[in-house]
């Protein structure tokens, strides 16, 4: 089926995440299934459609956008150390946009 299955799976994934959460439809479904039933059914539907989308993407034809050089495998390794350091330092630093108000 090629790209047709991926396109249909993506469309169903999008619709399954946009239609059931609309307020009138969600209210109607929650009245019939109950709050817990709606959450359970929506979660099962989401996981099922996500599994189908991942499987369809795995069965899609391979299209190489550009050639692969051997040095490209080491690029993420070289960049991750500075990225992790920047992330760790930014988390430890106080937020300058947060206004501290003293209690009087």
Confidence of residue 99 (pLDDT cuts 50, 70, 90): low
Q: Residue 94: what pLDDT?
A: 75
Q: Residue 22: what pLDDT?
A: 93
Q: Residue 101: what pLDDT?
A: 61
pLDDT of 100 > 80? The answer is no
Residue 11 and residue 83: Cα distance in Å, rounded? 35
Residue 27 and residue 37: Cα distance in Å, rounded? 12
CA atoms within 13 A on the CB side of 16: 18
The per-residue pLDDT of the chain, averaged, comes to 90
Question: Backbone phi, then psi, for 94, in 5-degree steps?
Answer: -65, 150
CA distances from 10 to 15, 51, 65, 67, 78 (A): 9, 11, 21, 27, 34
Query: Max Cα separation, the chain?
Result: 69
17-41 residue pLDDT tens: 999 999 999 999 999 999 999 999 9
pLDDT of 102 > 60? The answer is no
Per-domain boundaries in the chain: 1-60
Q: Residue 45: what pLDDT?
A: 96
CB 16 within 8 A of CB 46: yes
């Amino acid at each position: 089926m090629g790209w047709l299955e991926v396109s249909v799976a993506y469309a169903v994934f999008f619709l399954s995440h946009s239609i059931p959460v609309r307020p009138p439809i969600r209210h109607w479904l929650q009245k019939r299934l109950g709050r817990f039933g709606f959450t359970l059914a929506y979660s099962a539907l989401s996981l099922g459609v996500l599994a189908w989308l991942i499987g369809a993407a795995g069965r899609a034809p391979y299209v190489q956008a550009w050639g692969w050089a051997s040095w490209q495998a080491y690029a993420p390794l070289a960049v991750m150390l500075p990225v992790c350091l920047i992330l760790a330092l930014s988390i430890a630093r106080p937020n300058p946009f947060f206004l501290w108000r003293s209690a009087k």
